[in-house]
Amino acid sequence: MSSQESSARIAPVPSPPRLRPYQQQAVTRVVEHFRDSHAPAVVVLPTGSGKSLVIAELARLARGRVLVLAHVRELVEQNHAKYQAYGLDADIFSAGLGQKQAERQVVFGSVQSVVRNLDSFEKGGFTLLVIDECHRVSPDKDASYRQVIDHLKRANPRLKILGLTATPYRLGQGFIYHRHCHGMVRGEADCFFQACVFEQPLRLMVKQGYLAPPVRVDAAVERYDFSRLAPNARGLFAEEELNRVVRGNRATPTIIEEIVARARDRRGVMLFAATVDHAEEILGYLPADEAALITGATPSRERQRLIEAFKTERLKYLVNVAVLTTGFDAPHVDLIAILRPTESVGLYQQIVGRGLRLAPGKTDCLILDYAGNPWDLYAPEIGSPKPDSDSEPVQVECPSCGHANLFWGKRDGDLVIEHHGRRCQGLVDDHQGKRSQCDFRFRFKTCEACGAENDIAARACHGCGERLVDPDDKLKAALRLKDARVLRVSGMQLEATRNGRGLPRLKVTYHDEDGATLDEWFALETPAQRGAFAAAFLRHHLRAPGANWRPTSPEAVIAERRRLKAPDFVIGRRAGRHWQVREKLFDYVGRHRKASAAGDAG
């Protein structure tokens, strides 16, 4: 056989896929991080940004063995396919895909299959573990991902662990990582993932043309009213409460009629229902030969058949109940209809993200929200639950290090009049060049033993280790004293007055539900007096603590009383013929009822 004939039979080696600039930057940041650290890291990339390609490139560059985990077989299959696009072979370990091989250098597996077969991962220690949709890694050390991690680390204590996600936030936990590459603290110091080494903003992805622009339309028809529902202790809406709103709701037929009308020139429509009962009702109003429903109870083969029919556009409408928010890739989707409340901006972004991938002939994705979800698609995560429907992300500068924090809060025009931040999120360098979190606290509990400021939920002082006095114990002790007065504060009045010598003073009066009062006075004439007022009063009473507001007169304080909040309890002690305020309790959580909860008492 001639050399010409021989070469004709050799399959050409495919050229590796070309990474977009942000994908290459993500890979570079990961390599740089693991060159200097063993700390678990996170890369944040929006839905549709090509996480699979980043994973494939990292697996190709890795010198040792690599295990890539995902929670659904669709992601396992997608990630494996991208790696194969390099002309390289890898094993699949997933019962759902009918393969359980773990011999090659790179293995793509489902966490459910791997955790049940840890003995198959005894030999040939892995050097890199990659976790797709890593916001699913539970803090619980007995959870599946943690079991796999512990098993791999016993074989290789220097195992590098990388997570990728579009939404680095977990309900009930907050941010899943501690430090961000832009120099801020997001999650707690004990987060499993220590650093976010790269993040690509969704707005930039759309602006640069890598994602289809979302077009949110305010529906003209009647909507569902989920406003009275509150998430449970796990941060989720209860199914029975959701059903109470949507079951037989007269708005449903009209809503589906509008969706069908708006979908006339659209190719793929995904509808997100509140409950299974709701989804079944929705399906009944859609064109029967063009629609299907997928729930958590849909058998695997049937689910795959319906998804394939939708992806090949033999079905136009796909209704689902919380099962296609991640790991689902259908680029032709150009209409998202949301008929359920979303518990977080992260979930909202995951849902909308199903329609943002690019596809031939696709110019945008229409977003129809019939549940009144308050989330801004481009808004960053805050890291704590939204305190109320009126709150929005606000920027708050730290008076100590100057870091621009992002907290839930409220504005009056451009002025931030309230925020819920506790501690500055900035990272600062000490004299040895070590980076740590700024220690300025917007809200705090003072240690009576050493004077250190602690988090309002702390039980022991971070400075001296002494047990912090519980607010309930303070109230209980004060109530036992004959010369103490405890007010459950129902109001606070400010008055510009003069003392016995005719000097101007600010009089602050606290009163309870029965009319009992306690007063305190402040002078603001000199810089020293104004400094004392800021430390003793403003630092605690500001609705937006840390604000650079320094009033110079009682009248100036009264004119801006909207900036101030009253304490929950005030404790006074008798001093001669007068009462003196000794203690004020803010952000109280305990056994005693606050005045604001009077309507709930009984």
Given a contact cutoff of 8 angstroms between Cβ atoms, the answer to whether 456 and 468 are in contact is no
Residue 8, domain member (yes or no) = no
Give yes or no for residue 601 having a pLDDT over 60: no
Residues 167 and 219 both lie in one domain: no
CB 162 within 8 A of CB 130: yes
Contacts of 44 (CB under 8 A, 6+ apart): 164, 165, 166, 168, 196, 198, 199, 200
Contact between 552 and 434 under an 8 Å Cβ cutoff? The reply is no
Domain membership flag for residue 4: no
Q: How far is CA 356 from the centre of its chain?
A: 20
Q: Tell me which residue has tokens 């000199």.
A: 526
Instruction: State the CATH number of the domain containing residue 339.
Output: 3.40.50.300
What whole-number distance in Å separates Cα of residue 329 and Cα of residue 98? 21
User: Based on the domain organization, do 224 and 241 belong to the same domain?
Assistant: yes
| Whether the Cβ atoms of residue 107 and residue 68 lie closer than 8 Å to each other | yes
Q: 241 and 144 in one domain?
A: no
Query: Domain ends where: 200, 223, 254?
Result: 200
| Residue 379, pLDDT score | 67
With respect to residue 592, please indicate whether it lies within any of the assigned structural domains: no
The mean-pLDDT minimum among 88-92, 392-396, 552-556 falls in 392-396
- Give residue 214's identity as a one-letter amino acid code: P
Which helix or strand (DSSP H or E) is residue 114 part of? helix 111-116
CA pair distance 182, 171, nearest whole angstrom: 23
Task: Give the pLDDT of residue 186.
Answer: 86
Strands 427-429, 415-419: pairing kind: unpaired
Question: pTM of the full predicted structure?
Answer: 0.77
**238 is written with which tokens?**
């209860």
Residues 252, 133, single domain; the answer is no
With a cut of 60, say whether residue 7 has pLDDT above it. Answer: no
The answer to whether residue 558 scores a pLDDT higher than 70 is yes
Count of domains in the chain?
A: 3
* 598 band by pLDDT with thresholds 50, 70 and 90: low
Q: Are 241 and 181 found together in one domain?
A: no
Q: Are 20 and 50 in contact (CB under 8 A)?
A: yes
Verify that 268 and 130 share a domain, yes or no.
Answer: no
Q: Return the higher-pLDDT residue of 70 and 322.
A: 70
Nearest to 294 by CA among 335, 325, 262: 325
Q: So what's the pLDDT on residue 41?
A: 96
Residue 75 has pLDDT above 80, yes or no: yes
Cα 101 from Cα 117, distance rounded (Å): 11
Q: Is the pLDDT of residue 579 over 80?
A: yes
Query: For residue 246, what are the domain limits?
Result: 206-369
Q: How far apart are CA 59 and CA 67, in angstroms?
A: 9
Residue 222 vs residue 551, higher pLDDT = 551
User: Does a structural domain hold residue 533?
Assistant: yes
Q: Is the confidence at residue 8, as pLDDT, over 50?
A: no
Q: What is the pLDDT of residues 447-480, one digit of tens each?
A: 988 989 999 888 899 889 999 988 888 898 888 8
- Do 116 and 259 reside in the same domain of the chain? no
Q: Do residues 154 and 211 share a domain? A: no
Domain stops at, among 339, 354, 369: 369
